[in-house]
Structure 1
Amino acid sequence: MSLLTQEAWTALIPHAGAMALIDVVVAWNATSIHATGERHSPDEHPLRDAAGLHAVHLIEYGAQAAAVHSALLGGVDVRDGRLVSLRDVQLTVDYVDLARGRLDVQAQQLVADQRVAQYAFQVEQHGRLLASGRLMVMYAVTS
């Protein structure tokens, strides 16, 4: 499936307002998602500090892409999910130059069921890899 704006998933995920970093889903299928984030100017990003947007915050882009993907698949309430593990995180820059424009976020579902999901993610800008890794989310089980 392809090109979805925030309105298609915003009510399904916990991220809201300025903290909703994913703007558009370019494409998605049963195991992966390609999304973009470009709405925030360099001075208005909610995770930016005086030095700029540190690359460690790109993990949040990967986590939000995973949340959007899980929400689009249905079956679990991602609003009750918690990021519980990060593995093999690699950052190729210290700070992100938001003035260079859009961030492309890819996430691939590795494992998923009603209790847990594991994703590999990568964040690029103009074809340059900025961050990658794996993350695990656990969902609250309701009876």
Structure 2
Amino acid sequence: MLAKNDFIDLIPHAGDMCLLDSVVAWDETSIHAASVSHVLDTHPLRGPRGLHAVHLAEYGAQAMAVHGALRARGQGATAPRPGMLVSLRGVKMSVQRIDTLEGPIDVYADCLIADENGAQYQFRILHDGEEIASGRAAVIHPPSPIAS
């Protein structure tokens, strides 16, 4: 298990915007993270009517970012490579809001394909053992600027 302070420096999501609290397990192709940030009144994505389930896609994307950074670190990278979320597909949600869900949510992401240009993942998010969201996401790694 990895606590937030073990991976927060690997991703661009700082402070409260780092929505994941821990990495329960990970390997070369998948990650299982957990969070209770969805219930916080100070959640950075929370609106006047609460926290809509659409934001679960951000939890999936952050699990992807952490997984990619952990893989890169394991392969000897000294700094994480910037990525941009470019696509969400087949997203399904079974709840309207998530701020009313008590207890942790479990975030799973499985790498479908990855190379130096980007990656595609499938994610699913469970609460109390029930799937509340799932989908696929793609991220690209913009080319590094050429030094002059």
Q: Does TM, scored on the shorter chain, surpass 0.5?
A: yes
Partner Cα distance (1:26, 1:36) in 2: 7
Pair 98,35 (structure 1): closer, same or farther in 2 beyond 3 Å: farther
Partner Cα distance (2:57, 2:22) in 1: 17
SS across alignment from 1:94: coil
Q: Tell me the alpha carbon deviations over residues 91-134 of structure 1, each in whole angstroms, 9 at most, x when there is no partner.
A: 11111144512110000000000111000001111011111000
Q: Percent sequence identity over matched residues?
A: 50
Q: Is the counterpart of residue 136 in structure 1 residue 138 in structure 2?
A: yes
Structure 1 residue runs without a partner (length 5+): none
Give the counterpart letter for 1:14 in structure 2: P
- More displaced, 17-26 or 92-101? 92-101
Moved over 6 A (4+): none
SS across alignment from 2:136: strand
In structure 2, the residue matched to 1:81 is 83
In structure 1, the residue matched to 2:20 is 22
SS across alignment from 1:85: strand
Partner Cα distance (2:37, 2:95) in 1: 21
SS across alignment from 2:49: coil
TM-score, reference length from structure 1:
0.91
Larger radius of gyration: 2
TM-score, reference length from structure 2:
0.88
Cα RMSD after superposing both structures: 1.6
In 1, are the aligned partners of 2:39 and 2:99 still within 8 Å (CA)?
no
SS across alignment from 1:63: helix
More strand by share: 1
In 2, are the aligned partners of 1:36 and 1:103 still within 8 Å (CA)?
yes
SS across alignment from 1:100: coil
Pair 110,100 (structure 1): closer, same or farther in 2 beyond 3 Å: same
1:51 positional shift: 1.1
